[in-house]
Amino acid sequence: MTRLCAVSVDLDEVGHYFAIHGLRGHEGGHVAYERGVPRMVAFAEERGISLDLFAVGGDLEWEGNARLLAEISRRGHVVENHSFGHRYDLTRLSAREITWEIEEGARIIEAVTGRRPTGFRAPGYTVNDVVFSALEAVGVEYDSSVFPCPAYYFAKAAMMGGMRIRGRESGSVLDSPKVLRAPVRAYRPGEHWYSRARGEGRARSFVELPIQVTRGARLPFIGTMVGGAGVLGATLLAKACVGEPLVNLELHAMDFLEVEDGLSALLPHQPELRTRLSARLSALSAALAVLVEAGYRFVHLHEAARALS
Ligand SMILES: [Zn+2]
């Protein structure tokens, strides 16, 4: 039986977090790359894991970030496309603008690493049929953005509703509730982004690798959840994923940062920062140990896409 595990990290620079929480006047800085990335690479390499890194093209216009990513890519980690500008409202742009966001991200990453990305992840997990058509036009092997997780969906809806009540503008866009009808395992998209291709009907040229949810309750098996769950909680969450052909564990550079990295303004908004970094890494480590124990083999997402398509 296939038991593959892919660990990917979205390398969103901290400025994107300030934007989504409507915090203005922060310079952003480069701590996601300067501090988060070296910690994450050390963590992965100690465990023999080669990562998929979803980079935002615009973040690489800072020379230091580009140099660091090129170096990490030479060590065997794979850099994939997280768009050019990390537009949380990607799905509200025109087809032309969406295509540009995807193509420009790919172009910059290829210029930095020498490899054209074959995978895409949308900012904020939000896609639609126009995004999927753009991915076909640009050419990808897989997309990994669809997050069919009721707990995440309703928490995001509540958070955005709360910001509206307080008169603050959130930069994010709520996915269509159709995401909750999407398959939880790898699928070839059909008529719509959330539906599987069937029979003679339309079939996309690429595979969707949904963000991981647990069996049963479909709890989010992502870095923020696992890191904050403690060792016991993380172990239970991982056990609830065992048996899935692919465990697609998605982390963020933020999962490797702490308040002392100059992020005190984000503390009220990013709950993961309330847990000590060492505790988050212990929990993550425990979850990965469960998967290794269950016979999971670490692969890159493009390898999983080929194995499962
Ligand atoms: Zn992101």
Task: Provide the 3-class DSSP secondary structure of residue 230.
Answer: helix
Q: What is the pTM of this model?
A: 0.94
On the 0-12 / 13-18 / 19+ scale of CB atoms within 10 A, 305 is: buried
Measured in angstroms, how far is the CA atom of residue 296 from the centroid of ligand 1? 26
Measured in angstroms, how far is the CA atom of residue 13 from the centroid of ligand 1? 9
Measured in angstroms, how far is the CA atom of residue 77 from the centroid of ligand 1? 18
pLDDT in tens, the chain (309 residues): 789 999 999 999 998 888 888 776 565 589 999 999 999 999 999 999 999 999 999 999 999 999 999 999 999 999 999 999 999 999 999 999 999 999 999 999 999 999 999 999 999 999 999 999 999 999 999 999 999 999 888 888 887 777 666 666 666 677 788 899 999 999 999 999 999 999 888 999 999 999 999 999 999 999 999 999 999 999 999 999 999 999 999 999 999 999 999 898 899 888 889 999 999 999 999 999 999 999 999 999 999 999 998
Measured in angstroms, how far is the CA atom of residue 58 from the centroid of ligand 1? 12
Measured in angstroms, how far is the CA atom of residue 86 from the centroid of ligand 1? 6
Measured in angstroms, how far is the CA atom of residue 105 from the centroid of ligand 1? 13
Report the alpha-carbon distance of residue 25 to residue 39 in Å, rounded: 27
For 107, residues 6+ apart whose C-beta sits below 8 A from its C-beta are: 57
- The DSSP result for 166-228, as a single string, is TT------PPPGGGGGS-SS-B-B-SSTTSB--TTS---SSEE-PPPB-TTT--B-BHHHHHH
CA-nearest of 252, 260, 246 to 227 is 252
